[in-house]
């Protein structure tokens, strides 16, 4: 008798099915066993919140309560910071190899429990399990592996640097465990200890990570997890014994953190909002572009700070692209995030859902055409369908405001120049995507877009080897790679040797009645009366207010007068700096000009030595030493101008990831009070060497060497507007420059109060700042030049260029 084989359909009906790997049973069992009420993890142990307050954490896909999480207060933060401080010295002294072993163990344990972490993340966050399983968790392990390597190499690769101490870290809800890894891995690798606050909506995987720390027997106090809402984050930011704040979240909160930490000496890094352009040229492969849009804006429900939420399409292909997008959107699947076939999961919370709905409706009222698929979103849980907005003005609210949901706007351009202008037409600068088959065009456009990461023919690609962070109001600092590592270290302090002007003994200056008469090579006793002017836009300018200030020498006598600049003069100087094309000149040309400036300063050394002696009272040898050091410094930065190279990151993809240093743009520099000439050169020339244009405020005490340097600038082929020199009262000029929205970075070398004021005012546009007390640095020593100055004068743009099939 012939046996008839069963049909395939019959086989599916009779097969025995095992549990799906992504079934939530294990994650829910963990919640039930460990909770369902979770305390803080402090000093290697679980503890109840000091005030006994808890709040619910919910599953966004069905609104069901998963458990309860502790609300941290000041007492909990105090306890966590104390535990971190107590553990830090031993963790630092463990050495790079010892720390590497622990980081390696963390990576291995993440991999061993990958499915558990993935399902727990999806339950708590609402993102599709495919993303948690295939993207987030592998990247978490990758970060700890990568930073285990940095821990091993720290003593050789970061020689002369030391950990900051205790790092306070505050992370968002869109990538809960991945953001934890981005922050904890570099902090631990460099010898810091951590107090981390996860987002109030998504604390569970951070608490599971705390349990992992116990499993690998990480020393108590090295990692501390304190849960809670914004009040807990504020307590961490304000805590006086925290040395570093790392924050990922909204630009508005980032501003508050910048203002709160001003003058405290805390090092901060801010990874904030974005409105990333997705630029499509007419030669792009539209099928690839469509899938790129899916990854750019519907990945993680659009709850991604670098989401490609602004499609800028060449007008020749814009309609065809929109048609293909609508067709693709019809095939997207939305539903239970634990279903492996789902493309779009749930929005994190009702408050976020209402924000998305409100902004889309505002876009409709402003004239945009809103299109959504014909299918409806699930009724249970917090879901919002993928949305395409066309007929959008570049100034429309939905084209400017970060929506943080699955909503994309489409606009058109005609020329590459217009594409760049539209891409940069936002206050943000986190990321961008460029789509074209012309690699020359791609790299040209990528270099002009103001963003920390630019992807070419791809999007949302991340790796631990490549730094990630923003320009402008997307924040500052980097996470990942060598750049991110430096956010957690500082130079070891060097002993400060007194320079000219520090004390009368070293200067050879006697009491008030001593005389210079008969001293060899003494400064002339009389000179032609001259009031030094401001130097703005390549020419000397009279001050707007029409006032001047007397300059008093070391004996209390008038040595001359300088212009008293005001806020109008400061604004004029910024406008002149903005008008330059210095950043687009070659590094070789900048080097030649700085060498020439060194040559011209050397030719005028006698005049500058005389000026220093007459002004500061230093002896002939001290004056010669300062001028010689100034010439050498000009030569040093001329040498660095074409040698401040980037890198090719070894990211594990078929692509070249180019880390390219770029100038900040317009920089304001408040020069140290002394040494008069060397301090000016040391503060102004590093930014100039890398392509920044500078507005310099000369030493208030002894500004004349800086005004004398105007002649060196004029005779050295320095283009107009590259170096602008203001003189006057610091208290009158500083507020305008620190608060100016067209100033991209500011250095300040003065008083602690002045430093605090600069940091506080910089929050207006979140400009990068570097502040220190002028007398706290030996301007003649090795620590007064080189890489540290160049790092603060540049920012890294990572350009991802895929290749192959």
307 and 277 Cβ atoms separated by less than 8 Å: no
Please tell me whether residue 491 adopts helix, strand or coil conformation: strand
The token pair at 502 is 């520090």
Residue whose C-alpha is closest to residue 192's, from 487, 398, 606, 418: 487
Annotated catalytic residue within 213, 305, 389, 671: 305
CA distance 383 to 632: 63
CA distance 637 to 598: 10
CA distance 635 to 121: 54
Annotation says 63 is catalytic: no
Rounded alpha-carbon distances, angstroms, from residue 289 to 293, 297, 306, 315:
6, 12, 17, 15
Please tell me whether residue 486 adopts helix, strand or coil conformation: helix
CA distance 453 to 532: 44
Annotated catalytic residue within 121, 131, 271, 730: 271
Q: β-strands 558-563, 407-413: how paired?
A: unpaired
CA distance 770 to 766: 12
Question: Rounded to 10 degrees, what is the CA torsion of 456, 457, 459, 463?
Answer: -60
Q: At what angle do helices 587-603 and 620-641 cross, to 10 degrees?
A: 170
> 220: which residues sit within 8 A by CB, 6+ positions away?
43, 44, 45, 83, 87
Annotation says 674 is catalytic: no
Peptide bond preceding 36 in cis form (omega within 30 of 0): yes
CA distance 443 to 281: 13
Residue whose C-alpha is closest to residue 612's, from 603, 622, 604: 622
Rg (C-alpha) for the chain, rounded Å, is 29
The dihedral through the CA atoms of 698, 702, 704, 709 has a sign that is negative
Q: Give the E-state strand segments of 361-459 in sequence order.
A: 369-371, 387-390, 407-413, 431-435, 453-456
CA distance 51 to 37: 15
371 burial type by CB count under 10 A (0-12 exposed, 13-18 middle, 19+ buried): middle
Q: Which of the 8 DSSP states describes residue 296?
A: I
Please tell me whether residue 399 adopts helix, strand or coil conformation: helix
CA distance 178 to 184: 10
Residue with tokens 């706007």: 409
CA distance 122 to 111: 17
CA distance 355 to 347: 11
Q: Which residues are catalytic?
A: 271, 305
């Amino acid at each position: 008798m012939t046996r008839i084989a069963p049909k395939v359909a019959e086989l599916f009906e009779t097969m025995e099915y095992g549990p799906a790997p992504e079934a939530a049973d294990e994650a829910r069992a963990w919640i039930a066993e460990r909770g369902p009420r979770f305390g803080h993890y402090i000093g290697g142990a679980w503890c109840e919140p000091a005030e006994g307050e808890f709040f619910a954490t919910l599953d966004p896909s069905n609104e069901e309560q998963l458990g309860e999480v502790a609300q941290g207060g000041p007492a909990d933060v105090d306890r966590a910071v104390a535990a971190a401080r107590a553990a830090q010295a031993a963790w630092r002294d463990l050495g790079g190899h010892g720390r590497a072993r622990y980081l390696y163990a963390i990576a291995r344990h993440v991999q061993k429990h990958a499915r558990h972490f993935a399902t727990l993340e999806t339950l708590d966050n609402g993102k599709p399990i495919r993303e948690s399983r295939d993207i987030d968790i592998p990247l978490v392990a990758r970060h700890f592996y990568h930073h285990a390597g940095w821990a091993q190499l720290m003593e050789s690769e970061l020689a002369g640097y030391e950990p900051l101490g205790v790092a306070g870290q505050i992370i968002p809800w869109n990538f809960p465990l991945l953001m934890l890894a981005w922050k904890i891995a570099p902090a631990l690798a460099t010898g810091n200890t951590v107090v981390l606050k996860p987002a109030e909506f998504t604390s569970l995987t951070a608490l599971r990570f705390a349990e992992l720390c116990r499993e690998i027997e990480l020393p108590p106090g090295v990692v501390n997890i304190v849960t809670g809402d914004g009040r807990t984050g504020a307590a961490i930011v304000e805590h006086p014994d925290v040395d570093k704040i790392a924050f990922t979240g909204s630009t508005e909160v980032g501003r508050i953190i910048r203002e709160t930490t001003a003058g405290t000496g805390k090092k901060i890094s801010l990874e904030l909002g974005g409105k990333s352009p997705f630029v499509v040229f007419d030669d792009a492969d539209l099928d690839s572009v469509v899938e790129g849009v899916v990854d750019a804006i519907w990945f993680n429900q659009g709850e991604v700070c670098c989401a490609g939420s602004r499609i800028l399409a060449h007008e020749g292909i814009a309609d065809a692209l929109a048609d293909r997008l609508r067709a693709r959107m019809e095939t997207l699947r939305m539903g239970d995030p634990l279903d492996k076939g789902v493309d779009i999961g749930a929005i994190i919370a009702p408050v976020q859902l209402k924000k998305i709905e409100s902004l889309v409706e505002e876009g409709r009222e402003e004239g945009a055409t809103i299109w959504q698929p014909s299918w409806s979103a699930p009724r249970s849980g917090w879901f919002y369908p993928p949305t395409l907005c066309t007929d959008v003005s570049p100034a429309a609210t939905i084209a400017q405001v970060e929506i943080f949901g699955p909503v994309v706007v489409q606009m058109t351009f005609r020329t590459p120049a217009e594409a760049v202008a539209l891409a940069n037409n936002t206050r943000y600068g986190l990321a961008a995507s460029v789509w074209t088959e012309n690699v020359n065009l791609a790299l040209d456009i990528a270099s002009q877009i103001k963003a920390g990461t630019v992807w070419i023919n791809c999007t949302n690609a991340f790796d631990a080897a490549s730094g990630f962070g923003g320009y402008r109001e997307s924040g500052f600092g980097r996470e990942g790679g060598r750049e991110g590592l430096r956010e957690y270290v500082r130079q070891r302090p060097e002993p400060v040797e007194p320079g000219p002007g520090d004390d009368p003994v070293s200067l050879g200056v006697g009491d008030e009645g001593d005389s210079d008469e008969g001293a060899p090579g003494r400064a002339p006793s009389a000179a032609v009366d001259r009031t030094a002017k401001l130097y703005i836009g390549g020419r000397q300018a009279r001050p707007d207010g029409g006032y001047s200030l007397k300059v008093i020498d070391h004996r209390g006598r008038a040595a001359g007068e300088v212009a008293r600049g005001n806020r109008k003069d400061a604004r004029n100087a910024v406008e002149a700096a903005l008008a330059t094309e210095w950043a687009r000149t070659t590094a070789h040309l900048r080097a030649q000009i700085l060498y020439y400036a060194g040559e011209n300063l050397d030719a005028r050394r006698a005049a500058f030595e005389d000026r220093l002696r007459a002004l500061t009272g230093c002896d002939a040898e001290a004056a010669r030493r300062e001028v010689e050091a100034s010439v050498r410094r000009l030569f040093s930065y001329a040498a660095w101008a074409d040698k401040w190279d980037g890198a090719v990151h070894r990211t594990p993809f078929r692509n070249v990831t180019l880390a390219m240093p770029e100038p900040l743009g317009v920089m304001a520099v408040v020069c140290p009070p002394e040494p008069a000439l060397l301090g000016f050169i040391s503060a102004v020339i590093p930014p100039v060497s890398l392509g920044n244009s500078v507005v310099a405020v000369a030493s208030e005490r002894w500004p004349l060497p800086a005004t004398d340097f105007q002649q060196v600038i004029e005779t050295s082929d320095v283009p107009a507007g590259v170096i602008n020199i203001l003189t006057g009262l610091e208290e009158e000029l500083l507020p305008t420059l620190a608060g100016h929205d067209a100033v991209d970075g500011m250095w300040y070398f003065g008083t602690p109060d002045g430093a605090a004021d600069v940091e506080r005012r910089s929050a207006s546009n979140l400009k990068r700042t570097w502040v220190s007390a002028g007398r706290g640095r030996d301007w003649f020593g090795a620590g007064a030049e080189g890489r540290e100055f160049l790092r603060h004068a540049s920012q890294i743009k990572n350009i991802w260029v895929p290749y192959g099939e």
